[in-house]
Amino acid sequence: MIKVRIKKIKKDAIIPRYAYDGDAGVDIYSAEDYTLKPGERALVSTGIKIAIPDGYEAQIRPRSGLALKYGISICNTPGTIDSGYRGEVCAIVINHGKNVFNIKKGDKIAQMVFNKIERAEFIEVEELDATKRGEKGFGSSG
């Protein structure tokens, strides 16, 4: 279990929490009211800042219930929060639905999942090793 320091920057912000034992993600909550027309998006405030330990990231992901019932998602899913970031945690929420969607202060708007990360070292080469797949992509498997 990692320790994540958290700071409320809005008095009535809600600290993220797991809904059930075994959940991968913590619910994050809106710190303000928003109205999203179909096709609109908004940067939704949570009223919190966090300090993620080195070697980890936090991902902001959609909530399945909002996606299924209302067509509400996260634009850049998953959105990554790097360990060095100290600004407010926000979610870029989009309304893919057909109706206006109202977000009320205190509503669950997304979930946040913590992941261990690996850093890559890039080694420039003249050629890459051959594989059966090769350069086939973008629907090449059928």
CB-CB contact of 71 with 96 (8 Å): yes
Task: State which amino acid sits at residue 129.
Answer: D
> Which residue in this structure is represented by tokens 């929420």?
93
User: What is residue 17's DSSP assignment?
Assistant: B
| 130 belongs to a structural domain | no
CA distance 76 to 81: 12
Query: pTM above 0.75?
Result: yes
CB-CB contact of 94 with 41 (8 Å): yes
In degrees, to the nearest 5, what angle opens at C-alpha 141 toward C-alphas 140 and 142?
95
- 1: its two tokens: 């279990």
How many domains is the chain partitioned into structurally? 1
- 121: its two tokens: 């070292």
| 58 belongs to a structural domain | yes
Per-position pLDDT tens, the chain of length 142: 999 999 999 999 999 999 999 999 999 999 999 999 999 999 999 999 999 999 999 999 999 999 999 999 999 999 999 999 999 999 999 999 999 999 999 999 999 999 999 999 999 999 999 998 888 788 777 7
| CATH number reported for the structural domain that contains residue 17 in this entry | 2.70.40.10
Beta-bridge partners for 102? 35
